Structure 1
Amino acid sequence: MNEEPQVLYCDAWLMAIDKPAGMIVHGDGTGERTLTDYASDLLLAMGDGFAATDMQPLNRLDRDTTGVVLFSLDKQTQPAFDQMVIDHAFEKHYLALAEGKIDWNEKLIDKPIARDRHDSRKMRVGASGKPSQTRVKVLKRLKSRRGLPTRSYIDVELLTGRKHQIRVHLASERHPLVGDDLYGTPRPYGLMLHAHSVSFTHPVTGEHIHIEAPCPWEP
């Protein structure tokens, strides 16, 4: 992990941080430093001990996914943010590189996702799974060059929030994400998936908030 997290937005109720690749959001029992630890230390340094104690992540990203992570900072308003998560009131867009040339320009992938009974690390598309919707728009098709295969640069909007949803849905379309070591082919430069932006109406102020994290890689 080469980069430090960066604060993208902060008010009395909410903080947004740009997570680098290689960092987990929440503790996994190993004692590894997490993005939540970083945010808590930052709030303590700012003199806000209550927020440092009360903060909770509102979304999680896989270890190798970069981009926007939101934290609720106040116990009184956290239920409002939690309800927004349940209602899918956060508009989330990701940037990604997918293997191969995607023939369509835009598509709603509507396939239920369940746990993979044969591999506890993985999820899969299956009739017994939870409803899952991902809207994909092709931004650019990249021809093979300098030994790199044909790829598609895509904008992905999450309409639901299942574990590994984008990775599973793209793999089910035979276009796994570049660098996906679970559902595709590992690459030395890692997983090409970035949580680019989050938009929402602030439940306290009523303001429209749009938060962006610059993409750390170029297609």
Structure 2
Amino acid sequence: MVNKPTGVDTHPSHENQHDSLSNFVASYFESQGVKCRAHPIHRLDRDTSGAVIFAKHHLSQAILDRMLQHKHIKRTYLAIVNGQLQKNHDTISKPIGKDRHHPTRRRVSPNGQTAVTHYTVVKNINNLSLLELSLETGRTHQIRVHLSHLGYPILGDTLYGGTKDPNGQALHAKSVQFVHPISEEPFTILAPLPKEKRWMLFA
């Protein structure tokens, strides 16, 4: 398990990139004399911090990939959004596809892939809301797209209409729950907010 900092790509985005989370994990194992092929089971956007599962060999990777596919890995997030939601908890079930007018942006599309996000309002702060969210699916930018589609973009997420904020994008993967692929021991792993995002709990 790795607690990804803000501003780091999960995977290298080009051949000569050496500052991705995957590179850092590989370098760590090498420094410890551990021979393995560390592979992230899921990814977080560059400006999203928090918990990422890495598999150390092909067998655990295959098992964890299957667990993720069958929704046996639960991921929980914290986000601060612009505005106050009308419902204290709800499920957003809207398919997501590529936005043909932008190279990286996604959008809700009837021809997109199934995407399901659950949210609960933790508290309201002036014209902001702190949410706890969990995913049934893992589409690119899923939480960001779904919340923006509702009209409540994430604070600092200017790609999807959020208000620019000096603290950056207010989205953090706070925990994951899963069963160990070999020992079958249940785990709940908590990822503390990084220093630059601790303000989210006191906003």
1:40 matched residue in structure 2: 26
Alignment map for 1:1-219 (pairs within 5 Å): 16-29=1-14, 30-49=16-35, 51=36, 54-143=37-126, 150-184=127-161, 185-216=163-194, 217=198, 218=200, 219=203
State the alpha-carbon separation in 1 of the partners of residues 46 and 81 from structure 2.
18
In the superposition, the TM-score normalised over structure 2's length comes to 0.93
State the alpha-carbon separation in 2 of the partners of residues 203 and 213 from structure 1.
20
Q: What is the Cα deviation at residue 100 of structure 1?
A: 0.6
Gaps of 5+ in 1: 1-15, 144-149
The aligned amino acid for 2:2 is: I
Aligned partner of residue 17 in structure 2, secondary structure = coil
Deviates more, 1:99-108 or 1:27-36: 27-36
Q: What is the Cα deviation at residue 186 of structure 1?
A: 2.5
Aligned partner of residue 59 in structure 2, secondary structure = coil
Whether the 8 Å CA contact 2:41–2:61 is kept in 1: the answer is: no
1:13 matched residue in structure 2: none
Identity fraction in percent: 36
Aligned partner of residue 182 in structure 1, secondary structure = helix
| Post-superposition CA distance 1:137-179 (Å, at most 9, x none) | 0000111xxxxxx100000001100000000000011000000
State the alpha-carbon separation in 2 of the partners of residues 78 and 135 from structure 1.
26
Q: What is the Cα deviation at residue 117 of structure 1?
A: 0.8
Whether the 8 Å CA contact 2:84–2:129 is kept in 1: the answer is: yes
Q: What is the Cα deviation at residue 202 of structure 1?
A: 1.4
State the alpha-carbon separation in 2 of the partners of residues 77 and 163 from structure 1.
23
Aligned length: 195
State the alpha-carbon separation in 1 of the partners of residues 71 and 38 from structure 2.
20
Whether the 8 Å CA contact 2:95–2:115 is kept in 1: the answer is: yes
Q: What is the Cα deviation at residue 188 of structure 1?
A: 1.9
Whether the 8 Å CA contact 2:48–2:172 is kept in 1: the answer is: yes
Q: RMSD value over aligned CA atoms?
A: 1.1
Q: Which has the higher helix share?
A: 2
Q: What is the Cα deviation at residue 55 of structure 1?
A: 1.4
Gaps of 5+ in 2: none
Q: What is the Cα deviation at residue 77 of structure 1?
A: 2.5
Q: What is the Cα deviation at residue 32 of structure 1?
A: 4.3
